[in-house]
Structure 1
Amino acid sequence: MRIALFGTGGMASALGGQWTRHDLTVSGRSPSSAAALAAELGAEVLSWADAAARADAILLAVPTTALEALLTPLDLTGKVLIDCTNTPGATGEPVAARIAEYAPGASVVKAFNLAHVDVWRMTPPLFEGRPLGVPLCGAPEAVEVATELVRDVGCTPLPAGGLDRAALLEAAAGLAIGLWFDGLDARSMLMSA
């Protein structure tokens, strides 16, 4: 699979490091950061437009405030956009829904937003001997692509419905992040017998 990493921060580095068997490209706002990440991953640096044209899937790992200006000039028709972003405390339209508006013709899937960046560096992310479950919200074709990438990380894909349910993932992330910042164990609320 041809994957474009849009962004050069922790999430692009962590997930990109798990996907090196794929054809990776890196695009970023800072040429030096893009070059450094590409060297780390054995990837190629391309412009946003060239990376989008070449990619089957694009990981959106840029600040949510940059998404509109980044995505609206690009032709993303037929591309799978993987939204791993979080905007804790945000209200209003969910980020995943805004991405779909900015990129008509693309298929958006919300994924990889419920765990800290360091979890994505684990090979594989196991907790108490069990692989991490990764909820996926989006159209079936986008979820299918994201499912392969979740398995590449060593996690269990959890198809969680259409893109309309991405708002639930974003809200869950906001709740969990707030609990963690308060020093509480957010995982404990999801334990089962």
Structure 2
Amino acid sequence: MRIGIIGAGWMGGTVGRAWGRAGHEVLFSSRHPEELRPVARQLGPRASVGTPRDAAAFGQVVLFAVPYGALPQLGRDLQEVLGGKVVLDACNPYPGSDDEALVREAHANGVGTTSAKLLPGTRLVRAFSAVDATAVEASPSQRTGKLAVPIAGDDAQAVEVAVQLVRDAGCEPLVVGNLAAARGFQRGGPGFRANTTMADLRRRLGLPPGD
């Protein structure tokens, strides 16, 4: 699969490297793409670098891992190239660092619902937003108790794509529900930064035990 990564920092870089090792083609992007060339060289010919627009155009799937306050402008700038694509949203609003009106809106309406509004026309799934990059990086080496990654979305096919990509990153996906259900793992929710196993995350979110 071709995956564009917008924001190749702590989370975007970690997940992108895992996807590259799993055999996906990955384009890392930032405002300074030349700084990302060492990351791409580590993965060989399956990895490349570019601008956010390059990543949006390249990817069948696009991961957003940027400061939440950047989403409104990116949504406007990239709307025509993102239309209809599966977008994984790993962004979180932070009081004090993002626009306070946007933070209040996300808190009131739910981050998932707000992100879908900011990235119109996309098939948005909340994924990798509630875990730390260090936990994602460590998960593939765990013989038991891999990291559980909560995901939520309104588009069933997009959610299935996210499920597979969470597995390809060496983690276990937990589909919580639609975008409204993502409240359970946004900041302040019981699933946010739990960095735990599937059984424990289900318990924290009040979900029944899995098979």
Do 1:125 and 1:153's aligned partners in 2 also have CA atoms closer than 8 Å? Answer: no
Please state whether the residue corresponding to 1:108 is helix, strand or coil.
strand
CA distance in 1, matches of 2:85, 2:172: 23
Alpha carbon RMSD of aligned pairs, Å? Answer: 2.9
Aligned to 2:31: 29
Structure 1 unaligned segments of length 5 or more: list them: 181-185
Alignment of 1:167-178 (within 5 A): 167-172=183-188, 176=192
Which whole-Å deviations, capped at 9, do the CAs of 1:11-58 have from their partners, x for residues lacking one? Answer: 011101110110100110123323333333331112322321221111
Aligned to 1:63: 67
- Residues 126 and 66 from structure 1, CA distance in 2 versus in 1: closer, same or farther, beyond 3 angstroms? same
Structure 2 unaligned segments of length 5 or more: list them: 96-102
Q: CA deviation at 1:140?
A: 1.0
Do 2:183 and 2:189's aligned partners in 1 also have CA atoms closer than 8 Å? Answer: no
CA distance in 2, matches of 1:135, 1:125: 19
Q: Does 2:76 match 1:72?
A: yes
CA distance in 2, matches of 1:175, 1:156: 14
Count of aligned residue pairs for this structure pair: 185
Give 1:78's aligned amino acid. Answer: G
| Aligned-pair identity (%) | 34
CA distance in 1, matches of 2:119, 2:132: 27
Q: After the TM superposition, which segments of 4 or more aligned residues of structure 1 sit over 4 Å from their partners?
A: 172-177
Give 2:10's aligned amino acid. Answer: G
User: Which of 155, 158, 165 is the aligned partner of 1:142?
Assistant: 158
Aligned to 1:84: 90
Q: Scaled by the length of structure 1, what TM-score is found?
A: 0.82
Q: Scaled by the length of structure 2, what TM-score is found?
A: 0.75
Q: CA deviation at 1:59?
A: 0.9
CA distance in 2, matches of 1:175, 1:133: 10
CA distance in 2, matches of 1:176, 1:160: 13
CA distance in 2, matches of 1:165, 1:151: 21
